[in-house]
Amino acid sequence: MLVQVCVQSLGLDRSSNTPVVILQENEGERVLPIWIGPGEASAIAMELAQIKFSRPLTHDLLASVLGGLGGALQKVVISRVKENTYFAEMIIRRNGEVISVDARPSDSIAVALRLEAKIFAHDELFKRTAIEVSEDHPGSRSDVLSEDEGTVMAAEELKEYLRKLAPEDFGRFTP
């Protein structure tokens, strides 16, 4: 099932100094943090802040090319996660034909914001974390350290810790 989401905020993961885009379901409280690159974070932040440049940046260019070729971005779907990497699809309509283009979630979000297209995520992604935890082996442990205790967290502890995180816990990202 697809869940419509919006960009709730951009943050900075203090442990890795990596930007994080926080997606929140439109009709609920669940959030989906996706760690992204600094360039894409800047592109998202600039669009959220409505900062425009005299010359098009990459995501602006892609949006212009898409429109110039007669296409329209119908929606973006954050479709899956594999080995801690999220995947997305840009669903484009052109001349009555629907085209699905594989893309990074961060690029897809940046373009969707520019074209005011809807963003969706599969419901299953909200039940998972950006850190894959094996539940197939009872008692298995993850390699993630707790900042508070400096110890390795068990899979269930990690899931509970991530469930309790608030977007403010990531800090603020500014371009």
- If asked whether residues 107 and 144 sit together in one domain, one would say no
- If asked whether residues 95 and 149 sit together in one domain, one would say no
User: 167, 8 in Cβ contact below 8 A?
Assistant: yes
Residue 168: which pLDDT band, with cuts at 50, 70 and 90?
Answer: low
- If asked whether residues 160 and 106 sit together in one domain, one would say no
- If asked whether residues 37 and 66 sit together in one domain, one would say yes
Give, for 122, the enclosing helix (H) or strand (E).
strand 118-122
Asked whether residue 164 carries a pLDDT value surpassing 80, the answer given is no
User: Is 171 domain-assigned?
Assistant: no
- If asked whether residues 65 and 126 sit together in one domain, one would say yes
- If asked whether residues 50 and 20 sit together in one domain, one would say yes
- If asked whether residues 44 and 122 sit together in one domain, one would say yes
> What pLDDT digit, counting tens, does each position of 49-99 carry?
888 888 888 999 999 999 999 999 999 999 999 988 999 999 999 999 999
Range of the domain at 19: 2-130
- If asked whether residues 59 and 104 sit together in one domain, one would say yes
- If asked whether residues 117 and 140 sit together in one domain, one would say no
Torsion of CA 94, 97, 103, 105, to 10 degrees: 80
> What pLDDT digit, counting tens, does each position of 102-155 carry?
999 999 999 999 999 999 999 999 887 433 333 343 333 233 333 333 333 344
- At 172 the pLDDT is 59
User: 158, 144 in Cβ contact below 8 A?
Assistant: yes
- At 94 the pLDDT is 96
User: Is 172 domain-assigned?
Assistant: no
Domain total of the chain: 2
- If asked whether residues 110 and 140 sit together in one domain, one would say no
User: Is 121 domain-assigned?
Assistant: yes
